Amino acid sequence: MKKKAYSVAIAGATGVVGREILNILEERDFPVAGIRLLASERSAGEKIRFRGKDEVVRLLEKETFEGVQIGLFSPGASVSAVYAPIAAKAGCVVIDNTSHFRMDPDVPLVVPEVNPGAIAGYRKKNIIANPNCSTIQMVVALKPIHDRFRIKRIVVSTYQSVSGAGREAMDELSEQVRQIFTMRSVEKKVFPHQIAFNCLPQIDVFLDNGYTREEMKMVDETKKILGDDSINITATTVRVPVFVGHSESVNVETEGAITPEAVKKVLRGAPGVKLMDDPKKGVYPMPVECSGRDEVFVGRIRKDFSVPNGINMWVVSDNLRKGAALNAVEIAEVLAKEYLNGRAKHKASFRV
Q: What is the 3-state secondary structure (H, E, C) of 238-290?
A: EECCCCCCEEEEEEEEECCCCCHHHHHHHHHCCCCEEECCEHHHCECCCHHHH
Whether residue 272 is contained in a domain is answered as yes
Is 158:349 a contact under the CB 8 Å cutoff?
Answer: no
> Do 223 and 338 belong to one domain?
no
Whether residue 1 is contained in a domain is answered as no
Nearest to 6 by CA among 93, 128, 124: 93
> Do 121 and 25 belong to one domain?
yes
Please give the pLDDT value at position 350.
27
Task: Supply the DSSP string of 318-336, one letter for each residue.
Answer: -TTIIIIIHHHHHHHHHHI
pLDDT digits (tens, 9 = 90+) for 208-236: 999 999 999 999 999 999 999 999 999 99
Containing structural domain, residue 13: 6-130+324-349
Residue of 92, 100, 246, 290 marked catalytic: 246
Q: How open is the CA angle 132-47-165, to the nearest 5 degrees?
A: 25
> Do 50 and 144 belong to one domain?
no
pLDDT digits (tens, 9 = 90+) for 310-339: 999 999 999 999 999 999 999 999 999 999
Q: How open is the CA angle 130-143-109, to the nearest 5 degrees?
A: 20
The pTM assigned to this predicted structure is: 0.94
CATH code for the domain in which residue 146 is found: 3.30.360.10
Q: How open is the CA angle 327-106-21, to the nearest 5 degrees?
A: 20
pLDDT digits (tens, 9 = 90+) for 52-79: 999 999 999 999 999 999 999 999 999 9
How far apart are the C-alpha atoms of 343 and 36, rounded to whole Å?
21
> Do 196 and 152 belong to one domain?
yes
Q: Report residues of the chain scoring pLDDT below 70.
A: 1-2, 342-352
Residue of 133, 146, 193, 199 marked catalytic: 133
**Residue 133 is among the residues annotated as catalytic for this protein:** yes
